[in-house]
Amino acid sequence: MVDTGGLVVLRTEQPPGLTVRGDLGPQQVRLFSEALRTTATEQEGDVYLDCGGLQVISLEGLRAVVDAAIDLSHGDRTLIVHSLSPYFRRIFRLAQWENTPGLVLEAPAEN
């Protein structure tokens, strides 16, 4: 869906959603948001966002995730974010975005 060289966003079938790799800076937010919006429009149910390959995310990128979750919540759907690094998870908590309607931050897998 998106490949800027520094940011790659790919569609996933199981679970249905997107996987993101690389750096999500302010310049890529529009492309990332469009990919999220397109995915939410083209599929039914919840949308999964795999952030395991995400190295850097700007504040604008975090806000795009929150905005997508809020949009999905209006249709009783959720954005389920998994493989989020502990650092990015802390940012969501510090910004008080972890309880955003429609946003689920999956707990990291236990080792």
Phi, psi of 103 (to 5 degrees): -110, 125
Report whether pLDDT(108) > 70.
no
**For residue 107, what pLDDT band results from cuts at 50, 70 and 90?**
confident
Convert the pLDDT of each residue in 30-74 to its tens digit: 999 999 999 999 999 999 999 999 999 999 999 999 999 999 999
Cα separation, 35 vs 18, in Å, equals 8
The reported pTM is: 0.91
Convert the pLDDT of each residue in 1-41 to its tens digit: 888 889 999 999 989 999 999 999 999 999 999 999 999 99
